[in-house]
Structures are given as C-alpha cells and as structure tokens.
Structure 1
C-alpha cells in the first residue's frame, strides 16, 4: 500500500494534473463502455424479458464487469511482472493516471466558463451539454454556470477522490473495479423504463462503493474551503451537515452541498430532462447568484480536496 502510493499513485496524480485526458489516447473507461454495450445486448437476449429476468441479467452484468477489469488488470500486472518489474510499473502508472479525472473535469468545465465570460450563451450551452444530462437549450447564463459548478462538485467524488481511495487501498485492480462500477452506473443506472430493473444492481453497487468516499470527500472539501481564498469553510461545514442528505441518491449531495456552502450559493433544484421537469430540493442558501467565476472556484475546491486526500495517504504511508 505505502510502496504503491509513493511509486505509482502520487506520480499518477501529478501526470493527471499535467496531461489531463487527451482524447486521442486509448482509455480504459471507453473500453468499459464498449464492453457494457456488448454484454447488455447479450444478456438481454439470454434472460427473460420480465422484471425478474432483467434484474437477474443486471446482477450478472454488475458483477461481471468489475471482475473482468479488476481481475484482468491483476492478471496482466502479474504476467508483466514475470517479464520485467519495470514494465509492470510503467503499465500500472499509465493506467492509474488514466483513472483520475481532475484535470479533465477542470478542462471541460472551463470550456463552459470561457464563453460565459464573453456572453456567448449559445456556446456556453453547447459546452455544458457535453458534461450534464439535463436539457440545456433554455438555460440562462446563471443556469449554465450553476450546471457546470454542480458537475464539478458532484464528480469530485466519483471522478477523483473515490478512485484515489480505492487505488490507495487495493492498487490498480481495485481502482479498475471501482471505475467499472462507476461506468456501469453512468450507463445503465437509471430509473427509467429501459433500465429500471436491468440497471438496479449497478446503481445499488455504486451506492455501496461510494458511501464512505462521498462522506469523506464532503468533509475534506469543507476543510479545503477553509484554506482557499474566496471560499467559506464555516458556511461549507454548515451546509454540508444540513443539506448532504437532500438527494434521491445517498451519496450525490455530500460534495455538492459542501461546494454550495463554500461558494455561498444555491445549487441543485428543479431541472429538465428530455423535456420533463424533475423536481429536486435545493442545496445551500441563495446568498448571491451563481456566476461564471464560480466554475474555477469549484475546480480549486476539487483540487484542494484531492490534495488533502493525498496528504492523508502520505501520512498513512509513512506511519505504515
């Protein structure tokens, strides 16, 4: 654990900070997405088209993907280690770096911020539509900025800090298994007619794996807010404890509530999906409206939270 942190995880975090996620590179998440699509078609043909049959097929998928990618990566690393420990290290470093998404989140959210600052609302709507699932055509400038801030805040956990935790605890195989579950949830974990039963197991497994990371991430984000200029640690703490359970998901609101408090804005609330308005509770107090500058502030909060996790892991590594 300690050796992996110093030789792989910490350098991988630096690589993510420097390189981000170039779109031309092969990426394990894209491999996972293609595998999910193939397995979904296969399992839907093999299992009965009933709620029980679809749930059974979804359970098989939810177990198969993390075993395939987690176990497969462990097997590959073992084989590479037999050839050369250096080759095994290079592969571990490369794929560990690709499981972290901090720089990618910053890049995609700042692509929303830049047109907003130029009052290019159409460009900002188009940019934010690439990172959110809601309808964006009718959003005003405040709505676009709020959607980008919410994306950074919510994905701080499943895109950055939760992968850090699983990688620290179990190396690349655990990180791959976690990312497989997270990708499953993003692709099939919906409560609509198509995935209500088929995606049930994937959504529940994602809830279980993120239960502790979401809460730790919210707590450390509050500490990060106290260290950053332009953020309120006191208000982050207040809103985190008050609003962190105000979401249909048991985990999604923790970092979002901490971020809303830190920025002293109100996030979440009603949103439109595929032309249908979904009523959701708000997080935070509307002390001031969300503005474009809140997007880079949310990114700094994300980085501060990740840095605090790395400091915690460094301390644990030294102690161990």
Structure 2
C-alpha cells in the first residue's frame, strides 16, 4: 500500500484517531487542509477571477469552458495533494522508519476532525445553555452557510445537529476509509476532494458550472462511506440508551433519498430518526428562502440537548471504528 503494509496502516490509522481525540487540529504546524485551501483559492483566482471580462465584453464564459476549468482545478488539486504527501512520507521513511510512522500518523489525523467537530458544536451549545443567543448565532454562522442572524434556539439546534450528522461522513468515516486503503497519501487525496466541494461545490451563479466537477467528484468519493456511516449510526443507536436504532434505520429508508445530496441524507436521517426529531426545513441563504427536505419524524421539539446527543453519536461512531481496528490489531498481534 504505497509504502507500508496494510498491517502498519491499521496501526497508524488507530493512532491517528487517538491523536485526534486528544489534540484535534493544532494551529501549528500549518494544517495541510489550510494549504490545500490556499491552493484552491489561488487556482480559482487564475482560472475564474471574479472581475473577468470576456472578449465580447459580457463578463460571461460558456458553461462548457467553465466546467473544463473547474475540472482542471479538481484534477490539479487532488493530484498535487496526493503526490506531495506521498513524497513527504517517502522522505520521512527514508530518514527513519519510525519517523515515517509518526509523519504518516499525523497526516492521517489532520484529515479527521472528530474533536474539531465537537468543539465547533459546543461553541454553539455553551452560549445556548447560558441564554446568549447572539453568541450562539455568531458561532453557528461559522459552520453553516445559511443566514443565522434571527434564528431561535430550535433552529440553531437544527443547524448544528445537521452539521454534526453530515460531517460524520466527511470528517470521520470517509477519510478513515481512504486511510485504510492507502495510508496518508490517499487520506489526503480524499481531504482535498472534500475541501474542493466545500469551497467551490455550490449551485449558485458563480459555481454552478465551475464547481460542477468538484461537487460530482466529492459525491462519488463519499458514496460508499456515507452508506457505511448509516450502518454505524444505527449500531451506535442500538448500543446507546435513549436512542432508537429501529427509527434510525427506518428514517434512512424513508427520508434519505429526499435530500438534495446523494450522501448527506443518510447520516442526517439516521440521527433524526435515532433522536426522534425532525431535521431539514426552511433555510435562508443571503436573504433568499430555500425549503429543504424534512427528515425524520417530529416526535418532540428540538432542544439544545440534541447537540449533545449528536456529538455523542459522533464519538460513538469513532469508538466503534476504533474498536474494530483494535480487534484487527489484537488478531495481528
């Protein structure tokens, strides 16, 4: 598997999860995802500047040309991310085998964001618990694209729970799947794909065509991990007091396909079903209202405590994955 055996990759992936549990994403050294984001913005500015004027003076380019440029951005980003990490790991391993292990483990941990996702959720939960709605709205605006200035507690809770649920795929299961398949280089390949989608994979006027390749590629990369996440969330609900595994599974079957994303509806439906709440509904983006598919059954009103439950499900999934990896390690031992 590129450099290391699959047994070594299992060890490093388990260590990466533990490292993320303990320290999350430190600001130093420079996080690889920040570097990837800077590259994406640099290439975007070159290929699709905001003040571009075409030869006919219209300032508009054909959809085909924009898609071609977007494809160039996608390919260059994922190839450079994969290649640079592969070279870095090769270099580290050449210095010393254990230095290579350490570098690979750290790189894999930067593609996972269990602690970071929990911290972002609690930045909203803590002000809500203290009754500081203004702060809760501000911090919710950091993690969602919708307008948050006038959201009340129930809608703020919905925004955070949806974000946590969706990112169990993007920030936990998908990067770990690719890490197990190909170590740090393939994990970073996935993280670059996901970062592209988060930066340019929108359906607005600017990115509808330019971000098309990035959005479709991210959908493809997440297809299997999203379905695996659904299974894991049902298992976590089965093992947890107060959660319903039966409703989680039923919600996936009933609601997941209603979501505009082929993948995000699965974890969101599972969490909604397990908690007995409804997710989705009316969102406002830049002043424009957008009705999203409603997922789950509103058996009770949403409360701020649902943020805590969602984070527990996030950690529950990571515990199940870690348990599986430790079982493999024990067998190997």
| TM-score (norm: length of structure 1) | 0.95
* Matches for 1:111-126 after TM superposition, within 5 Å: 111-126=123-138
How far the C-alpha of 1:311 sits from its partner, in A, is 3.2
SS in 2 for 1:272: strand
Choose the corresponding residue for 2:277, options 244, 255, 265.
265
How far the C-alpha of 1:117 sits from its partner, in A, is 1.1
SS in 2 for 1:169: helix
Choose the corresponding residue for 2:209, options 173, 191, 197.
197
**1:147-187 alpha-carbon deviations (Å, 9 max, x no partner):** 11111001110011111111111100100000000000000
Indicate the residue corresponding to 1:32 in structure 2: 36
Check if 1:22 corresponds to 2:26.
yes
Indicate the residue corresponding to 1:278 in structure 2: 290
Deviating more after overlay: 87-96 vs 179-188 = 87-96
How far the C-alpha of 1:317 sits from its partner, in A, is 6.0
CA contact 1:265–1:285 (8 Å) conserved in 2: yes
Choose the corresponding residue for 2:7, options 2, 10, 25.
2
* Matches for 1:48-67 after TM superposition, within 5 Å: 49-67=61-79
CA contact 1:2–1:318 (8 Å) conserved in 2: no
RMSD of aligned alpha carbons? 1.8
Indicate the residue corresponding to 1:183 in structure 2: 195
CA distance in 1, matches of 2:42, 2:285: 26
How far the C-alpha of 1:146 sits from its partner, in A, is 1.1
How far the C-alpha of 1:64 sits from its partner, in A, is 1.1
CA distance in 1, matches of 2:128, 2:97: 48
Choose the corresponding residue for 1:167, options 179, 189, 201.
179
Choose the corresponding residue for 1:41, options 34, 45, 70.
45
CA contact 2:14–2:325 (8 Å) conserved in 1: no
SS in 2 for 1:219: helix
Deviating more after overlay: 74-83 vs 107-116 = 74-83
Choose the corresponding residue for 1:158, options 166, 170, 181.
170
How far the C-alpha of 1:97 sits from its partner, in A, is 1.3
CA contact 2:173–2:225 (8 Å) conserved in 1: yes
How far the C-alpha of 1:306 sits from its partner, in A, is 2.1
* Matches for 1:292-303 after TM superposition, within 5 Å: 292-303=304-315
CA contact 1:168–1:313 (8 Å) conserved in 2: no
How far the C-alpha of 1:80 sits from its partner, in A, is 2.3
Check if 1:250 corresponds to 2:262.
yes
CA distance in 2, matches of 1:201, 1:142: 35
SS in 2 for 1:250: coil
How far the C-alpha of 1:41 sits from its partner, in A, is 1.8
Deviating more after overlay: 268-277 vs 90-99 = 90-99
CA distance in 2, matches of 1:160, 1:12: 11
* Matches for 1:36-115 after TM superposition, within 5 Å: 36-44=40-48, 49-115=61-127
How far the C-alpha of 1:24 sits from its partner, in A, is 4.7
